[in-house]
Structures are given as structure tokens and as C-alpha cells.
Structure 1
Amino acid sequence: MKFDILIIGAGPAGLNAAHAAAQAGASVGIVDDNALPGGQIWRQGPGHRAAGPARAVLDALAARSNVALLSATRIVQALPGRRLLAQRPDRALTLAYGKLIVAAGARERFLPYPGWTLPGITGAGGLQALIKGGMPVRGERIVIAGSGPLLWAAAVTARQHGAAIAAIVEQASPQAVRRFAAGLVHTPAKLAQALRMRFDLRATPYWCDAYIAEAIGTTRVTHARARRGNGEVLVECDRIACAYGLVPNTGLGEALGCRLETHAGAPAIAVNEWQQTSAEAIYAAGECTGVGGMELAAMEGRIAAYAALGDDANARHLFAGRERYRRFAMRLHAAFELSPALRALPQPDTVFCRCEDVAFRDVARHASWRDAKLQTRCGMGPCQGKICGDAAAFCFGWPQNGQRPPFSPARIDTLLHAQMTA
């Protein structure tokens, strides 16, 4: 299969890029590893169809004969000559492109603490995804913890599905949160969204300068011990949803030769004003270039598509809007910067790498991420370091190694397909 524009990721950035490119008459391919398009923020599931801007762009794309949506499809390897090896549930594919737009989004950052591997504990976005996928939470008491506005969004979703939110536990200080809230006047849509969520959660305890110090339970979590200021609170719960912000997904971009830069303390794909990366014919947009929210991702996706097609005028027309939401992103990161105190959360026997069951003490005795991997197998399990690698970067300041193919678990016949089409 060959496309003028191939887009990796079907979240706000990828879908808006596809819409802009399709309107210009280009042949467009959209690859996403989820069963339905939308990414995390526009995630669909049983009884949860996309609405609003998501529905509009999905309907517009569905009406286009020059758009191919390849859901449940993963990129496995880069091939010579602007081609990618992909795997679907039933077969392997070779995807050729004229221009590539990487819109790979971001993932949650998990920090280890005693008890964090107990059943009933997920990320905040993970809780949202499970609920939208049909997991029942009615009647459950849920503690939502970590940092950032995602906590509020997860709490609203859980409450709408019948859960009782025992508390929202935010590590940022009250002063930082108030400054961020005051700055929302510069983005009226964000302000309106925040006011709606605050009204929905008006009876929910919201603790700042607080974090989960321990999850307690035997066969599953039953209590959360929260450190709040100089004191502690024991909260009875059936579930904990805890994550400390988002980390850009840079693996594919880096493997394709794109330069990375540090954005809000985490690696991100570096782009110029046209969303072009350092690699020829490759653009990037959305959270993989730095976490900034849905509106920024959508604008970056459209700019990337216009630029890839050589339509500089339409791309430049969106620069001012992009800058407005980039300023919002800067305020977001300043307000919810992680406290150094969180580095002291894991105890020596706390599980650090949950895939390979490696304790914190065994990782901490090494001098680098590479050394820790070689000596303990930390980061070499099914998640390939996506969880413990981010934790190691925060706790120890270790940069991670680049991703090597296969980029995701692949069948033997998929790898053979690459050999036969080389």
C-alpha cells in the first residue's frame, strides 16, 4: 500500500492532519494500534461514541474515498525507501509513503511506591480507557492521584459511570494550582471545561501538596495511605488511579532518525515551525513533540499536513493559534512540575520493574539505565521499559537508549514478510 501522506496515530493530531491532507486531494493512510480511532482523549468503546469535534472529523474522513484507516495496526520496523513494516491481526503489510507524519501521542508516567502493583491500581488515563472499554465501576470507591488536569477528567468519567471519588490527590502546591487556574482566562475553551469539571466534582475532596505513599491490601487494594503536607490520611478504597503526567512517545520518531529535544523534562521529537523533523520527509505533531493538550495537538496536525503538501499559506495561518496553546502548555508544565520529594517514594524492596519483578534496591545500585538493564533485566519485559524507564529517568536522571526493531511484539510471519519484500 502506498500513500502520499501516511500518518501514525489516530488521536486529535493524526485525525486533523488526515482531514487537512484529504481535503487537499492527497491519498492518506492512518495507522493506529487501537481498535477504533480517537486516541486516548477521544477514545471510543461500547456505549461511548465520539462526539463534538471528534465526531465531526471522523465523519468527514469516513466520507472521503482517498482515506484509508488501518486500525488495530502496529508499526514493527522501518524499511528502506520510505517504507514501514506493519502488523495487523490477520497479516503483515508494507506501507510506502511520500511524506510521513508521526502523531504517536504520549503515555502516562508511573512512579513506583509501596503496593503499587496490587490489583485494582491503574493510571488515571488507564482508568478512563478501561471505563470507556466497558469496565463497570458503579459503587466503587476510587482514589485518583498523581498530577495534572488528567486527574479531573478521569474523576469525571468515573463519577459519570457510578463510582464514588474518595479523593483527588494532587502533588502540586495549592499556590501553583491557583496560578494555573487563573491563567485559564487566556484559553476560554479550557476555562469553560475546567468550570464544568469543578462543578461536577464540587463535593469531591481535592488535596494539593499530597501524594500516595502506600497502597495497602492483600489480594487487591483496600486502602490508600496519602501523605498530605506534614500529615498522613488513610483512605478506604476499591481502586487507585495514579499517574504523574504524560511522557511523549518518541520511540518511532527516534528509530526513524528524528532528533529529540528535552521538553518539560522529558524527551520529545524536535520539530521546526512547519512541524518538520530533522529526518527527510518526516513530520511530527501532537503530544509526541511535547505534551500540550488536545487543541494544540489538533492545530499541529493540520500544520504538519499543510506543510507536508507544500501549502505554506494555510499552515502559517494556524501559527498564532498554535502559539496561544503552546503558552497554555508552558503554564501547565510550570504548575504541575513534579516535586523532588516523589523520588523518595520507593522503598528498597519496592518493585521497580513490574514486568521482570526487579526491586528498587537492585536498580539503584547501578550507574546507568543500560547497566541496570544488563545486570537486572529491568526494562526488558513486555512493556520494553515504557513504565520503569520513565521512572528511572525521573528517579535517577538516566537517559534511555533508543528503540530498536521490532518496535512492538511481532509474529514470525511478519518478520519474514520484511525479508521477502526487502
Structure 2
Amino acid sequence: MSARADVLIIGAGPAGLNAALAAAPSGARIVLLDDNPWPGGQIWRDGPQASVPTQAQRLREHVGALNNVQHHPQTRVIAATGPRQLLVEDAERGWVIDYDTLILCTGARELLLPFPGWTLPGVTGAGGLQALIKGGLPVRDQRVVIAGSGPLLLASAATARHNGAQVVGVAEQATRGAVAGFAAQLPRWPNKLLQAFGLFDRHYRTDSHVVEALGTERLEGVRLRQHGKLIELACERLACGFGLIPNSQLGQALGCTLHGQALAVDAWQATSEPGLFAAGECTGFGGSELALVEGTIAGLAAVGDRQGAARHWPQRARWQGFAKALNHAFALAPQLKQLARPDTLVCRCEDVPYSKLAGQRDWREAKLSSRCGMGACQGRVCGAAAQHLFGWQPSAPRPPFSPARIETLLCLDDTPPA
């Protein structure tokens, strides 16, 4: 089974939705794929306990009303089966999509760094806890500690607090001076200043980071280093997020050049591969406002409206300034590379401790000697951690990019040779 799109968009977060909205007036046949049940991405994640912003609701409604946009939720890319051709799968079937132009809006994921006890039940990512709560996880009256770096910590704390949790600590690894310097620049972006006031938590502490999660069968508490001193807090949940890293694997597999960990793009949001654009956090973290305007530019450029796309450059530059200030203020401190002990697991899927990796030369050698990155997550967690800890560059992923049914892989037999 096969389908065709003039413009194929992977990811229905802010960037993907705006890309579809911008490209739609051209009359192009647009297909929008996303692996979540509802559009909105992680930042506007829907669920039983989610409160979706009005802006997100309106954008979803506008895109949903477009006759030339076909949205496929809970759909994953399995493989590239030929030039401008992808094999995809949803809950019921697999099929091949041919496209003329591709826009990658694959977002970002949390950076999870290993530390003693991080695999205990009750320990999650900061964004992971937020997603679980929105999906219905009960946290009422549970004591919660949030640790790591960046504004996501306060957003996660607010979600937990609004759902009845007792937030007993928010540990930000950045220094007081760095955070104060960032806060002093927020009047340049008034809505971000208001947002910061709304998210403030009285338990927020700078110069603080997690040292160890405490417990035997499950989490019982957390040890933090706060302003140079060790403190312990009893808690039922610990959420740690050390910033975001771009989901650039699909673009990398399709041959796109990277800039650091992100997909490299030009002024039109075009990648190094002809006919392939990228927008949003897969090109670097900068918040929903930057993702929205990048999506608009990519959508317009993808259908040939360069004049329209260029009109949005000043707005993009404004939010790129915010992204630069944000990423500078919350850059990770060197001591976070020393959190793991020799017996601390780095790869949870294959039970690989830090000591098995410390002597390896690169990611490939580590995989061959320890099976690190060869488990269910395919290196999405440990690969990013190893890159931060050792400076290794993970290799481009090979298909299948996600677990797939045999029936889906059989679609490859129906694909004509390239």
C-alpha cells in the first residue's frame, strides 16, 4: 500500500502545525505524521489531566479544518525505502509514502545523565513526569523533587503542584549569577517575563544538583549538593532533566548535516539535502515561539513562497536572541560529568555500568564491547548521555528506526527498486 504527498511533515508540534498552516494556501497535498495521539507535541501535550493553551487549541482547529492536510496520529517512520520515500506505521497498518518535499519537525527529548539511584522506581525525567501527570498519573499528596537545568524544571514543578503534589525542592544546577543575568534580559520578551512570574516556586534553588537517589525497592529520598553542602530530602518522586537535545536521528539517517547535535539549516530552514527542510527543536532548542516561526518559514519555503518566508525573518531573529540567552544561562557545569560512580548504570536496557564505558575510545567501540545502545531505546537515552560524558558522536541510525510489525516490513516487498 502506498500514498503520495506534495509536502510531508514529520511531527505535529508547534513547528509542524505552523508549517502545515503556512503551506496549505498553495493547494499542495500535505500529509502530517506524528507519533502522539493528539497534535501539539510535548510542549502542548494533551491528556486526561492536561490543560492545553488556547493558542494550541486554535492552531489545532485551524489545521484540522484544512481540506488539503491529512493528519495521521500515532504514526512512526520505520525506514527510508528510496529517494523521497518513507515506510511508516500506525496502530493498524504500515504503508509507503512518496513525497516531493519533506519537513522534519521532530522536536527534542530530555538529556538524562546517570547518577547513583537514577534507575529506581519513582525517578523520571522532568518532562517525563510532566507527560505522565498529563496522561493521568496520580501525584496528589506525593512529595516531589525536581532537579536538573532550564525552565522545564519550573514548568514540571507547576504541573505537579497543580495536580496536588507537594513540591519540596527545585534544584537548578546553573549559578545564581547566570540565572539572574537571564532574568534581567526577560523584559525583551514580555510574555516570557510574565510566564516566569507565573511559574515561580518558593523552593527553587540555584547552584544545586542531584548527587544520589536514595532507596532500596523504590525511591525514598534524594541527596543534593546545594551551594556546596550536601542535603537530603525525603520524597516519593524525583524528576531530573538536564536540558533538551534535538531529535535529529531521522534527518541524520537521511543524510542531513549536523550543527552540533542539531540539524543544520539555512535562512529558509532548508537542510543540506535538497527538498528537505527542518524546523523547531530538531534544529536547536529555543521554545515554542521560535518553533512556531521556524515552522511558518519552512512551510512557505517548501511550497516556493520565499518572499512570504523572508517576511518572518525578523520575528525569527527576535526569538533566536531568546534561545541564545537561554542556552548560555543554563549551560551544564563540568561537575555534572562526575555524577556517575563506576557501578552506576549508563545503559539501562543492557545493564552497562559506567566502568565498562570509561576506557573505550568511541561510541562504536563501546557498543561492540558492551552492547551499550543496542537495547529497546536504541541509544536514545544512553547515547546522549555518553556523548555528554565522553564526547562521543553517535553514528547515524540504521533502519528500522522504530520497532515495527512483520506485516509493515513486508511492505518493502511491494516497493519498486529505486
Normalised TM-score (structure 2): 0.98
Note the C-alpha offset of 1:49: 5.4
Deviations 1:349-387 (A, max 9, x none): 111111101111011121111111100001110111111
Output the CA distance in 1 between the equivalents of 2:50 and 2:390.
Answer: 40
Note the C-alpha offset of 1:25: 2.2
Output the CA distance in 2 between the equivalents of 1:81 and 1:234.
Answer: 55
Identify the match of residue 9 of structure 1 among 8, 11, 18.
11
Deviations 1:305-358 (A, max 9, x none): 101111112111110010011011111111000000011100011111111011
Q: Is contact 2:262–2:283 with CA below 8 Å preserved after alignment?
A: yes
Output the CA distance in 1 between the equivalents of 2:206 and 2:52.
Answer: 32
Counterpart in the other structure of 1:297: 291
Note the C-alpha offset of 1:79: 1.8
Output the CA distance in 2 between the equivalents of 1:280 and 1:407.
Answer: 22
Counterpart in the other structure of 1:218: 216
Counterpart in the other structure of 1:172: 174
Secondary structure at 2:180's aligned position in 1? helix
Counterpart in the other structure of 2:242: 244
1:321 and 2:321 correspond: no
Counterpart in the other structure of 2:39: 37
Identify the match of residue 308 of structure 1 among 299, 302, 324.
302
Counterpart in the other structure of 2:415: 421
Identify the match of residue 63 of structure 1 among 62, 65, 69.
65
1:231 and 2:229 correspond: yes
Secondary structure at 2:265's aligned position in 1? coil
Secondary structure at 2:304's aligned position in 1? coil
Output the CA distance in 1 between the equivalents of 2:279 and 2:333.
Answer: 28
Secondary structure at 2:55's aligned position in 1? helix
Output the CA distance in 2 between the equivalents of 1:47 and 1:342.
Answer: 33
CA separation of 1:54/1:320 partners in 2, compared to 1, >3 Å: closer, same or farther? same
Output the CA distance in 1 between the equivalents of 2:49 and 2:25.
Answer: 30
Secondary structure at 1:257's aligned position in 2? coil
Output the CA distance in 2 between the equivalents of 1:345 and 1:278.
Answer: 37
Counterpart in the other structure of 2:327: 333
Counterpart in the other structure of 1:131: 133
Counterpart in the other structure of 1:101: 103
Output the CA distance in 1 between the equivalents of 2:143 and 2:51.
Answer: 26
Amino acid at match of 1:254: Q
Identify the match of residue 367 of structure 1 among 353, 361, 370.
361
Output the CA distance in 1 between the equivalents of 2:83 and 2:405.
Answer: 23
Output the CA distance in 2 between the equivalents of 1:226 and 1:118.
Answer: 16
Counterpart in the other structure of 1:143: 145
Counterpart in the other structure of 1:268: 262
Counterpart in the other structure of 2:54: 52
Note the C-alpha offset of 1:47: 4.3
Counterpart in the other structure of 1:120: 122
Secondary structure at 1:402's aligned position in 2? coil
Range that drifts further, 159-168 or 76-85:
76-85
Output the CA distance in 1 between the equivalents of 2:86 and 2:361.
Answer: 35
Counterpart in the other structure of 1:386: 380
Output the CA distance in 2 between the equivalents of 1:258 and 1:14.
Answer: 18
- 1:152-171 alignment runs, 5 A limit: 152-171=154-173
Question: How many residue pairs align between the two structures?
Answer: 414
Q: Is contact 2:49–2:133 with CA below 8 Å preserved after alignment?
A: no
Range that drifts further, 285-294 or 56-65:
56-65
Amino acid at match of 1:111: L
Output the CA distance in 1 between the equivalents of 2:72 and 2:355.
Answer: 43
Output the CA distance in 1 between the equivalents of 2:89 and 2:412.
Answer: 11
Output the CA distance in 2 between the equivalents of 1:109 and 1:359.
Answer: 18
Counterpart in the other structure of 1:408: 402
Amino acid at match of 2:413: Q
Amino acid at match of 1:418: L
Note the C-alpha offset of 1:230: 1.8
Output the CA distance in 2 between the equivalents of 1:379 and 1:80.
Answer: 26
Note the C-alpha offset of 1:63: 1.2
1:284 and 2:278 correspond: yes
Output the CA distance in 2 between the equivalents of 1:71 and 1:48.
Answer: 18
Note the C-alpha offset of 1:229: 2.2
Counterpart in the other structure of 1:78: 80
Deviations 1:105-142 (A, max 9, x none): 00000000000000001001001100110111111100
Note the C-alpha offset of 1:395: 0.8
Note the C-alpha offset of 1:50: 2.8
Normalised TM-score (structure 1): 0.97
Counterpart in the other structure of 1:206: 204
Output the CA distance in 2 between the equivalents of 1:394 and 1:98.
Answer: 36
Note the C-alpha offset of 1:64: 1.4
Amino acid at match of 1:190: K
Q: Is contact 2:81–2:415 with CA below 8 Å preserved after alignment?
A: no
Counterpart in the other structure of 1:90: 92
**Deviation >2 Å, runs of 4+:** 47-51
Unmatched 5+ residue regions in structure 2?
none
Identify the match of residue 343 of structure 2 among 345, 349, 352.
349
Counterpart in the other structure of 2:257: 259
Secondary structure at 1:254's aligned position in 2? helix
Secondary structure at 2:364's aligned position in 1? helix
